Structure 1
């Protein structure tokens, strides 16, 4: 913070009742954090906007941004999740038989994906910071689309291993990149809902994957030398990714200052609202000190641990659901179709929980509740001692698992996006979270062994334990962030005028309030 003398500081709004400024969860910065006692009520201001000719309506502008930004990156993430998880569908179409892989070798191929993903997570976000979203996100998509397509023509396990590793490398930058991208468009309290909507594409990918695998699986003997249809699952879905990625150079935008669909007045309005809320409008140059700032912050590691405890159940579910259902006694074709309803349910619960969480300004409680809901699913799966004779019981458990895993993961992934300040620090923190988180996926890929079916006690038990671990981590973060907010409420900060944030000290600033 600057050492220059300031006018006498006013107490933070809401400090008297220990409620952090800027909302019940103490989530905002700038105007929301240093708001004056005589500021107009937000509702009144909104009504005033509607009556002033030519004024910008914030709600209408947000809907305009959502229409332009969310479908574009949502489609890319849908394709990303489809291309990483369709290997489970391909396995049902005799992938391992044709490539002469044992069950353990197949699991090794799954593990290699996440090793590549973890290693290149942070470097990819640094590249995004030093280039632009319009260049980097479509380019990444083309690269992984090429790798995904080549998976369809591999002829041995060595080719499968190499392709899975490079698929992880090329997909590693999308999710943390988009989370950082959102932070340059939306205010803090708006990002969590958008991240959840974005992540809901993963559940849609599961549903689409089942439908596509069912149809594509019938393309056997095309050509004659391909006895099974798994080749075409990779090839057709990979080619679709490449085509969409080429178009993405035109429908992915950079940042508000250069977005063609905005008027100059709208750009100015976005700059003002972000300047009063976060660091998104600062002209922050890249420095390694800012990278170290994320690495030295214990909270950034805890955000990573929060996702770590969700990534194992998330990826074991998405990679092994077709196998789990097939082990209940269903044919491969029927198992492909039966993966669709649980994913559809997950899509609904993700949107619903994100909406309620946003309206109530609560994060941790909904993560904990969703994780416990998913835990019920694994308790059902583990308690069904004879799943082949009672397949409906285990199938019900897959609904509970999906219905809790996806909303809990979506909310966990939004935490660093709304709580870390400093553009480079936030970009690194987002990438750290995914890297640390996906170490759980690395472990998870080794748990569902062929000889463990149909109950898969080891895999289900680990997933259950990790979900309960997430409850513990989320509870710890809740009390840690809440305590820190209360500590900062006792500090009398140097209050500045809105927009005068040249001496802003990121999330270490005593005016900053964390969302919990």
Structure 2
């Protein structure tokens, strides 16, 4: 792991929204801070000095992304390892019958969805430097407790608690990174931790295979070892994160004062009429983040995508078992790895393309046909080799929607508060898709699962349609905004009222 500087947390575990080195950036105007006369120059440098900006960006990457990525890797492993435990006999040992397994999966998403938005707002109030390590400690402990369960009711209860702790992880991390990166840069950085979702499928399968080769781990045997060992690793990572994560640029000891100024001005330069990077939470800003047309439609797209993402995580081991029933459990675990590796590659490649193009919507649209093709193959043939090949196409198209949609809702609001609620909404609706996925592959539908595969083909097709229509609408609405009289609309408003306009500001343009 990279070397990290220790960063102080905000006093009292809350966040001070006041920034020490601020400028007002409204279009081309630069109003220098009274505290730091040099910041005006560095706000200009944020746009003109590409070398200094690239150096700062790399430094931020090296200090933040390794910790974030490892936390999310084990967040996804601790969520999806029940699929590996299923192959290792958890259903038999806990006397699961009928739809018990699907119920255990669903109970996780109930708490996940209910606590999604409260957790995201708590992350802003508390500060990510405290919030993310705390919730990681919580879901690591929940994974350990899964290994101690002996009935379906017990593991359902623990999985409910697991959902509470994991609820704020994905939106919290996306919101956290939005404090550090420009709009175009953000999508690629989101991909560098969200790529841990497919890698968790690959690494989780390998780790589960290695764990199952052990005779026992203390008092634990078989599938119990999977939960216990992976939970202990997660707890260890959470303790490291308490030291390595810092809330925001101005509290980072590993940045010089000049670098802090540049980091703050980079982010602020893209926010219309904002006098501070981290504003105080307000009801109006929260609502604007939620009701933004881009937030709402993109969140539905993520909901549809997550039906496939989470379904693949939970049921790929089961699908592999139906394709290769003659193989041993360990061999079946290993066969779940290659599709995730390919999916991980595309999870980084597509956001990288998006970063270079500074366009997220077109990349979302172009990625969906890969997944659609995979499900067409599943429905069209029972050939094991063809169906296994189809899992590679599915994995190639679905995982990149995580960073792309979160970056899209983040790019299309202005204030920090609206950004937190927009990301929270996107992930909350996304996890409604996760809840649906737990019922997409039912026992009576096996071994070919035509209903489950047909559902996923339908949802990915609808994704394609909605994403295309949203792009058309964004461009049309931007043309309408070009004809508005900005000065006349703002003339009667105070500075605070102008700040609160967010995406309703007449000078704001949707960013595809």
Q: Which residue of 2 aligns with 1:138?
A: 133
| 1:34 Cα offset (Å) | 4.4
Q: Which residue of 2 aligns with 1:509?
A: 505
Q: Which residue of 1 aligns with 2:463?
A: 470
TM-score normalised by the chain length of structure 1 = 0.85
- Give the distance between the partners of 2:84 and 2:270, measured in 1 at CA: 44
Contact 1:185–1:280 (Cα < 8 Å) also in 2 = no
- Give the distance between the partners of 2:82 and 2:48, measured in 1 at CA: 54
Q: Which residue of 1 aligns with 2:433?
A: 440
User: Structure 1 residue 351 and structure 2 residue 348: aligned?
Assistant: yes
Q: Which residue of 1 aligns with 2:208?
A: 213
User: Structure 1 residue 452 and structure 2 residue 445: aligned?
Assistant: yes
Alignment of 1:176-195 (within 5 A): 176-195=171-190
Q: Which residue of 1 aligns with 2:69?
A: 74
SS at match of 1:137: helix
| 1:45 Cα offset (Å) | 7.5
User: Structure 1 residue 366 and structure 2 residue 359: aligned?
Assistant: no
Contact 1:280–1:423 (Cα < 8 Å) also in 2 = no
User: Structure 1 residue 199 and structure 2 residue 227: aligned?
Assistant: no
Contact 2:46–2:266 (Cα < 8 Å) also in 1 = no
- Give the distance between the partners of 1:282 and 1:327, measured in 2 at CA: 52
1:341 aligned to which of 319, 329, 338: 338
SS at match of 2:440: coil
- Give the distance between the partners of 1:463 and 1:405, measured in 2 at CA: 11
TM-score normalised by the chain length of structure 2 = 0.86
| 1:484 Cα offset (Å) | 1.9
- Give the distance between the partners of 1:456 and 1:60, measured in 2 at CA: 50
Alignment of 1:120-159 (within 5 A): 120-159=115-154
Q: Which residue of 2 aligns with 1:102?
A: 97
Contact 2:110–2:163 (Cα < 8 Å) also in 1 = yes
Contact 1:308–1:440 (Cα < 8 Å) also in 2 = yes
1:240 aligned to which of 214, 224, 233: 233
Q: Which residue of 2 aligns with 1:323?
A: 318
Q: Which residue of 2 aligns with 1:270?
A: 263
1:58 aligned to which of 46, 53, 61: 53
Q: Which residue of 1 aligns with 2:247?
A: 254
- Give the distance between the partners of 1:474 and 1:135, measured in 2 at CA: 35
Contact 1:184–1:281 (Cα < 8 Å) also in 2 = no
Structure with bigger RCO (C-alpha 8 Å, 6+ apart):
1
- Give the distance between the partners of 1:484 and 1:161, measured in 2 at CA: 47
Q: Which residue of 2 aligns with 1:406?
A: 399
- Give the distance between the partners of 2:393 and 2:265, measured in 1 at CA: 43
Counterparts in 2 of 1:33 and 1:335: CA distance versus 1, 3 Å: farther
| 1:361 Cα offset (Å) | 2.2
Q: Which residue of 1 aligns with 2:419?
A: 426
Return 160-169 or 486-495, whichever deviates more. 486-495
- Give the distance between the partners of 1:114 and 1:269, measured in 2 at CA: 40
Q: Which residue of 2 aligns with 1:289?
A: 284
Contact 1:271–1:281 (Cα < 8 Å) also in 2 = no
Q: Which residue of 2 aligns with 1:21?
A: none
Deviations 1:360-416 (A, max 9, x none): 22222221221110111111111113xxxx321111010000011112333123211
Contact 2:205–2:334 (Cα < 8 Å) also in 1 = yes
| 1:121 Cα offset (Å) | 0.5
- Give the distance between the partners of 1:319 and 1:183, measured in 2 at CA: 30
- Give the distance between the partners of 2:355 and 2:98, measured in 1 at CA: 43
Counterparts in 2 of 1:232 and 1:370: CA distance versus 1, 3 Å: same
Q: RMSD of the alignment, in Å?
A: 2.4
Contact 2:80–2:313 (Cα < 8 Å) also in 1 = yes
- Give the distance between the partners of 1:403 and 1:131, measured in 2 at CA: 36
SS at match of 2:400: helix
Contact 2:405–2:426 (Cα < 8 Å) also in 1 = no
Q: How many residues align?
A: 466
| 1:128 Cα offset (Å) | 1.2
Counterparts in 2 of 1:283 and 1:203: CA distance versus 1, 3 Å: closer
Deviations 1:404-452 (A, max 9, x none): 1112333123211111222222111111111112112111101212232
Q: Which residue of 2 aligns with 1:22?
A: none
SS at match of 1:277: coil
Contact 2:182–2:266 (Cα < 8 Å) also in 1 = yes
- Give the distance between the partners of 2:405 and 2:171, measured in 1 at CA: 13
The runs of 5 or more residues in structure 1 that have no matched partner are: 1-29, 37-43, 51-55
Counterparts in 2 of 1:87 and 1:193: CA distance versus 1, 3 Å: same
| 1:486 Cα offset (Å) | 1.6
Q: Which residue of 2 aligns with 1:493?
A: 486
Return 487-496 or 189-198, whichever deviates more. 487-496
